[in-house]
Structure 1
Amino acid sequence: MLGRSVGLTDDEMAAMANPDACPSFDETDRLVLRYSEVLTRENRVSDALYAELEARFPREELLELCMTVALSALVNRVHATFRTDVDDATRAQVGDAAFCPIGR
Protein backbone atom coordinates (compact mmCIF):
# COMPACT_ATOMS: atom_id res chain seq x y z
CA MET A 1 0.00 0.00 0.00
CA LEU A 2 1.17 3.48 -0.76
CA GLY A 3 -0.38 4.81 2.44
CA ARG A 4 2.85 4.54 4.38
CA SER A 5 4.66 6.60 1.75
CA VAL A 6 2.33 9.53 2.48
CA GLY A 7 2.57 9.18 6.25
CA LEU A 8 -0.42 7.04 7.19
CA THR A 9 0.07 4.83 10.22
CA ASP A 10 -0.76 1.12 10.25
CA ASP A 11 -3.80 1.92 12.42
CA GLU A 12 -5.03 4.53 9.93
CA MET A 13 -4.61 2.14 7.01
CA ALA A 14 -6.47 -0.57 8.92
CA ALA A 15 -9.27 1.91 9.66
CA MET A 16 -9.94 2.77 6.00
CA ALA A 17 -12.94 0.44 5.96
CA ASN A 18 -14.29 2.02 9.17
CA PRO A 19 -12.89 5.56 9.43
CA ASP A 20 -15.23 6.49 12.29
CA ALA A 21 -13.25 4.07 14.48
CA CYS A 22 -9.98 5.96 13.98
CA PRO A 23 -9.54 8.91 16.35
CA SER A 24 -6.77 10.45 14.25
CA PHE A 25 -9.14 11.00 11.29
CA ASP A 26 -10.93 14.33 11.45
CA GLU A 27 -14.29 15.23 9.90
CA THR A 28 -12.69 16.14 6.58
CA ASP A 29 -10.75 12.86 6.44
CA ARG A 30 -13.93 10.92 7.12
CA LEU A 31 -15.86 12.83 4.47
CA VAL A 32 -13.15 12.20 1.86
CA LEU A 33 -13.01 8.50 2.71
CA ARG A 34 -16.79 8.19 2.58
CA TYR A 35 -16.89 10.00 -0.77
CA SER A 36 -14.10 7.79 -2.16
CA GLU A 37 -15.91 4.64 -1.09
CA VAL A 38 -19.26 5.73 -2.51
CA LEU A 39 -17.84 6.95 -5.82
CA THR A 40 -15.79 3.78 -6.27
CA ARG A 41 -18.58 1.36 -5.42
CA GLU A 42 -21.62 3.18 -6.81
CA ASN A 43 -20.12 5.42 -9.52
CA ARG A 44 -22.23 8.35 -8.31
CA VAL A 45 -22.90 10.30 -5.14
CA SER A 46 -26.17 11.38 -3.59
CA ASP A 47 -27.26 15.01 -3.58
CA ALA A 48 -26.79 15.03 0.20
CA LEU A 49 -23.19 13.81 0.01
CA TYR A 50 -22.43 16.27 -2.78
CA ALA A 51 -23.84 19.09 -0.64
CA GLU A 52 -21.52 18.09 2.21
CA LEU A 53 -18.54 18.06 -0.14
CA GLU A 54 -19.52 21.37 -1.72
CA ALA A 55 -19.80 22.97 1.73
CA ARG A 56 -16.33 21.75 2.70
CA PHE A 57 -14.29 22.18 -0.52
CA PRO A 58 -13.97 24.85 -3.20
CA ARG A 59 -15.12 23.55 -6.59
CA GLU A 60 -11.52 23.26 -7.86
CA GLU A 61 -10.53 21.05 -4.92
CA LEU A 62 -13.66 18.94 -5.32
CA LEU A 63 -12.80 18.40 -8.99
CA GLU A 64 -9.26 17.41 -8.01
CA LEU A 65 -10.61 14.96 -5.42
CA CYS A 66 -13.00 13.46 -7.97
CA MET A 67 -10.24 13.06 -10.54
CA THR A 68 -7.89 11.49 -7.97
CA VAL A 69 -10.49 8.91 -6.92
CA ALA A 70 -11.45 8.20 -10.53
CA LEU A 71 -7.83 7.83 -11.67
CA SER A 72 -7.08 5.49 -8.77
CA ALA A 73 -10.09 3.35 -9.71
CA LEU A 74 -8.93 3.28 -13.33
CA VAL A 75 -5.41 2.21 -12.40
CA ASN A 76 -6.74 -0.45 -10.02
CA ARG A 77 -8.98 -1.89 -12.75
CA VAL A 78 -6.12 -2.02 -15.25
CA HIS A 79 -3.87 -3.79 -12.73
CA ALA A 80 -6.64 -6.22 -11.81
CA THR A 81 -7.42 -7.01 -15.45
CA PHE A 82 -3.83 -7.57 -16.54
CA ARG A 83 -2.66 -8.93 -13.18
CA THR A 84 0.23 -6.53 -13.06
CA ASP A 85 2.23 -5.67 -10.00
CA VAL A 86 4.23 -2.66 -8.85
CA ASP A 87 7.22 -2.10 -11.12
CA ASP A 88 10.78 -2.13 -9.79
CA ALA A 89 11.28 1.65 -10.14
CA THR A 90 8.18 2.40 -8.07
CA ARG A 91 9.10 -0.22 -5.48
CA ALA A 92 12.57 1.36 -5.19
CA GLN A 93 10.94 4.75 -4.48
CA VAL A 94 8.37 3.68 -1.91
CA GLY A 95 9.82 0.43 -0.61
CA ASP A 96 7.59 -2.13 1.05
CA ALA A 97 4.76 0.42 1.25
CA ALA A 98 3.96 -0.48 -2.38
CA PHE A 99 4.14 -4.24 -2.03
CA CYS A 100 0.79 -5.84 -2.64
CA PRO A 101 1.27 -8.97 -4.76
CA ILE A 102 -1.26 -9.79 -7.42
CA GLY A 103 -2.24 -13.46 -7.76
CA ARG A 104 -1.64 -15.02 -11.14
Structure 2
Amino acid sequence: MGLSKEKVEQLRQWRDSLVYTEKERLILEYTEALVKDIRISDELYKRVAEHFSPKQIIDICFTSGISGIINRIHGTFQTEVDELTQNHEFVKESQDALKADSNS
Protein backbone atom coordinates (compact mmCIF):
# COMPACT_ATOMS: atom_id res chain seq x y z
CA MET A 1 0.00 0.00 0.00
CA GLY A 2 3.03 2.25 0.10
CA LEU A 3 2.97 3.25 3.77
CA SER A 4 4.48 1.46 6.71
CA LYS A 5 2.19 0.12 9.39
CA GLU A 6 3.56 2.75 11.79
CA LYS A 7 2.74 5.61 9.41
CA VAL A 8 -0.81 4.39 8.89
CA GLU A 9 -1.33 3.92 12.63
CA GLN A 10 -0.01 7.40 13.39
CA LEU A 11 -1.77 9.22 10.58
CA ARG A 12 -4.23 10.97 12.89
CA GLN A 13 -1.31 12.28 14.95
CA TRP A 14 0.86 13.20 11.96
CA ARG A 15 1.78 16.62 13.37
CA ASP A 16 3.35 15.12 16.50
CA SER A 17 4.56 11.81 15.08
CA LEU A 18 8.24 11.25 14.38
CA VAL A 19 7.66 8.61 11.68
CA TYR A 20 7.02 11.11 8.87
CA THR A 21 9.68 12.92 6.86
CA GLU A 22 9.61 16.70 6.37
CA LYS A 23 8.19 16.24 2.86
CA GLU A 24 5.51 13.82 4.08
CA ARG A 25 4.45 16.30 6.78
CA LEU A 26 4.24 19.01 4.14
CA ILE A 27 2.03 16.83 1.94
CA LEU A 28 -0.19 16.02 4.93
CA GLU A 29 -0.44 19.70 5.89
CA TYR A 30 -1.26 20.64 2.30
CA THR A 31 -3.84 17.86 1.95
CA GLU A 32 -5.46 18.74 5.27
CA ALA A 33 -5.74 22.41 4.25
CA LEU A 34 -7.10 21.41 0.85
CA VAL A 35 -9.82 19.27 2.42
CA LYS A 36 -10.75 21.60 5.27
CA ASP A 37 -10.23 25.05 3.75
CA ILE A 38 -10.54 24.26 0.02
CA ARG A 39 -8.14 27.11 -0.75
CA ILE A 40 -4.43 26.93 -0.05
CA SER A 41 -2.70 29.96 1.46
CA ASP A 42 0.07 31.57 -0.54
CA GLU A 43 2.48 30.81 2.30
CA LEU A 44 1.68 27.09 2.31
CA TYR A 45 1.78 26.87 -1.48
CA LYS A 46 5.19 28.56 -1.49
CA ARG A 47 6.55 26.00 1.00
CA VAL A 48 5.11 23.13 -1.02
CA ALA A 49 6.49 24.55 -4.29
CA GLU A 50 9.98 24.59 -2.79
CA HIS A 51 9.89 20.76 -2.66
CA PHE A 52 7.50 19.71 -5.42
CA SER A 53 7.00 20.53 -9.09
CA PRO A 54 3.67 21.96 -10.34
CA LYS A 55 2.82 18.52 -11.77
CA GLN A 56 3.51 16.86 -8.42
CA ILE A 57 1.33 19.43 -6.65
CA ILE A 58 -1.48 18.74 -9.13
CA ASP A 59 -1.03 15.00 -8.46
CA ILE A 60 -1.37 15.64 -4.71
CA CYS A 61 -4.55 17.66 -5.31
CA PHE A 62 -5.97 15.06 -7.67
CA THR A 63 -5.22 12.15 -5.32
CA SER A 64 -6.76 14.00 -2.38
CA GLY A 65 -9.84 14.91 -4.41
CA ILE A 66 -10.41 11.41 -5.77
CA SER A 67 -9.97 9.94 -2.27
CA GLY A 68 -12.58 12.37 -0.97
CA ILE A 69 -15.05 11.40 -3.67
CA ILE A 70 -14.52 7.69 -3.04
CA ASN A 71 -14.96 8.17 0.72
CA ARG A 72 -18.17 10.15 0.21
CA ILE A 73 -19.61 7.48 -2.07
CA HIS A 74 -18.77 4.73 0.42
CA GLY A 75 -20.20 6.84 3.25
CA THR A 76 -23.39 7.61 1.37
CA PHE A 77 -24.10 4.04 0.36
CA GLN A 78 -22.49 2.47 3.44
CA THR A 79 -20.67 0.01 1.24
CA GLU A 80 -18.99 -3.03 2.68
CA VAL A 81 -15.29 -3.65 2.23
CA ASP A 82 -14.68 -6.38 -0.34
CA GLU A 83 -13.64 -9.81 0.90
CA LEU A 84 -10.08 -9.63 -0.45
CA THR A 85 -9.46 -6.37 1.41
CA GLN A 86 -11.23 -7.59 4.56
CA ASN A 87 -9.03 -10.66 4.71
CA HIS A 88 -5.78 -8.69 4.46
CA GLU A 89 -3.89 -9.05 7.78
CA PHE A 90 -3.21 -5.32 8.04
CA VAL A 91 -6.90 -4.48 7.55
CA LYS A 92 -7.95 -7.00 10.20
CA GLU A 93 -5.48 -5.47 12.66
CA SER A 94 -6.76 -1.98 11.90
CA GLN A 95 -10.38 -3.04 12.34
CA ASP A 96 -9.56 -4.71 15.65
CA ALA A 97 -7.79 -1.56 16.85
CA LEU A 98 -10.79 0.60 15.87
CA LYS A 99 -13.17 -1.74 17.71
CA ALA A 100 -10.95 -1.64 20.80
CA ASP A 101 -10.87 2.18 20.67
CA SER A 102 -14.64 2.40 20.37
CA ASN A 103 -15.10 0.05 23.34
CA SER A 104 -12.82 2.16 25.57
TM-score range with shorter-chain normalisation? 0.7 to 0.9
Instruction: Identify the match of residue 3 of structure 2 among 4, 7, 14.
Output: 7
Instruction: Identify the match of residue 27 of structure 1 among 9, 22, 40.
Output: 22
Which position in structure 1 is the counterpart of 2:90? 97
1:64-99 alpha-carbon deviations (Å, 9 max, x no partner): 11100110011001100111122234446xx14346
Structure 2 CA distance for aligned equivalents of residues 25 and 54 of structure 1: 19
| 1:77-88 to 2 correspondences below 5 Å | 77-88=72-83
1:44 aligns with 2:33: no
1:72 aligns with 2:62: no
- State the number of aligned residues: 94
Structure 2 regions of 5+ residues with no counterpart?
99-104
Mark the structure with the bigger radius of gyration.
Answer: 2
Instruction: Extract structure 1 runs of 4+ deviating beyond 6 A.
Output: none
Contact 1:19–1:25, Cα closer than 8 Å, also in 2? yes
Supply the AA of the counterpart residue of 1:97. F
Cα-Cα RMSD:
2.2
Supply the AA of the counterpart residue of 1:75. I
TM-superposed CA distance for 1:22, in Å, is 1.9
